[in-house]
């Protein structure tokens, strides 16, 4: 399999730099006039796939909203992953997993191993048990041509307590950035380790220029971030993947309206 960095670069070149979240939040299901059970979840998710998977570079299903419905919900997630990839979109499973030892290895098998029905093209990970705890996932991603997006600087106010704390003269977030950059060193065109950095931050306070990987930038659209914020925060940082969920999903359940909203946002971000 071609490496994740190369596949992401090709997808962005062909479809533009946009990641759309598939977040079957109960409030959105209700707004779409759908029941709050698994049937509503499935109709919501598969409408998103029908509308977006053939047009958008990356789709990001939020695992928690599927897991909340038990095994039937996870089965819907598996279908979202399979059908989105079949339509040409890359799938980033937003699971934010982070653990140690054999448990981390099991998460790696679930989300990054060939043959797993939960394996998309990449998964989000939390490094706050130490970046080294992610090693099983990093090794598996490299072996299977998949990617990971590691939480570095999130937009929630509680995150700063950990992420901006300093150790040895640098912030924890900068240590995460540096570890990701070391992992990506020498990869062409991009390494497999991306970072999650919120687009709504006032400033990052970290040096992202040597990452040699992609930056997932949630918060575009309904949360307030726009093109100027992306340029201000990430100028010179390489491949940035703006991410929006509600600003696109509020246009459902009409598939044409969903598709048009995504394409309009994508074009606005590069205008």
Question: Which CATH number is 196's domain given?
Answer: 3.20.20.70
The catalytic residue among 79, 96, 164, 250 is: 96
Task: Choose among 151, 207, 214: nearest CA to 187.
Answer: 214
Q: How far is CA 217 from the centre of its chain?
A: 8
Which range marks the domain in which residue 56 is found? 4-270
Under 8 Å between Cβ of 96 and 84: no
φ and ψ at 123, to 5 degrees? -140, 150
96 is catalytic: yes
φ and ψ at 62, to 5 degrees? -85, 110
Segments of 42-106 assigned E as strands: 58-61, 90-97
Per-residue pLDDT of the chain (271 residues), as tens digits, is: 789 999 999 999 999 999 999 999 999 999 999 999 999 999 999 999 999 999 999 999 999 999 999 999 999 999 999 999 999 999 999 999 999 999 999 999 999 999 999 999 999 999 999 999 999 999 999 999 999 999 999 999 999 999 999 989 999 999 999 999 999 999 999 999 999 999 999 999 999 999 999 999 999 977 788 888 999 999 878 789 999 999 999 999 999 999 999 999 999 987 6
Q: What's the whole-model pTM score? A: 0.97
Q: What is the pLDDT of residue 271?
A: 60
Q: Is the dihedral of CA 52, 53, 55, 60 positive or negative?
A: positive
Residue 197 CA to residue 203 CA, distance in Å, equals 10
Number of domain units in the chain: 1
Task: Choose among 68, 15, 12: nearest CA to 40.
Answer: 68
């Amino acid at each position: 399999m071609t490496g994740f960095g190369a596949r992401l670069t090709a997808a962005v070149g062909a479809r533009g730099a946009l990641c759309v979240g598939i977040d079957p939040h109960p409030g959105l299901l209700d707004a779409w006039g759908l029941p709050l059970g698994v049937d509503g979840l499935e109709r919501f998710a598969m409408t998103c796939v029908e509308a977006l998977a053939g047009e958008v570079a990356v789709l990001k299903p939020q695992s928690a909203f599927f897991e909340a419905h038990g095994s039937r919900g996870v089965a819907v997630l598996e279908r979202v992953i399979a059908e989105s990839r079949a339509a040409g979109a890359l799938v980033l499973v937003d699971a934010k997993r982070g653990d140690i030892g054999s448990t981390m290895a099991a998460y790696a098998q679930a989300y990054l191993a060939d043959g797993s029905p939960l394996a998309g093209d990449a998964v989000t990970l939390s490094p706050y048990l130490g970046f080294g705890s992610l090693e099983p996932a990093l090794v598996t991603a490299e072996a299977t041509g998949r990617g990971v997006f590691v939480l570095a600087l999130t937009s929630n106010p509680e995150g700063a307590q950990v992420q901006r704390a300093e150790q040895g003269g640098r912030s924890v977030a900068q240590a995460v950035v540096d570890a990701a950059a070391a992992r990506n060193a020498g990869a062409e065109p991009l390494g497999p380790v991306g970072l999650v950095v919120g687009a709504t931050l006032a400033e990052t306070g970290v040096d992202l220029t040597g990452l040699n990987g992609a930056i997932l930038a949630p918060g575009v659209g309904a949360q307030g971030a726009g093109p100027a914020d992306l340029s201000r925060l990430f100028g010179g940082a390489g491949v940035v993947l703006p991410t929006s969920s509600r600003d696109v999903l509020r246009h459902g359940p009409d598939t044409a309206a969903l598709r048009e909203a995504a394409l309009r946002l994508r074009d606005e971000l590069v205008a």
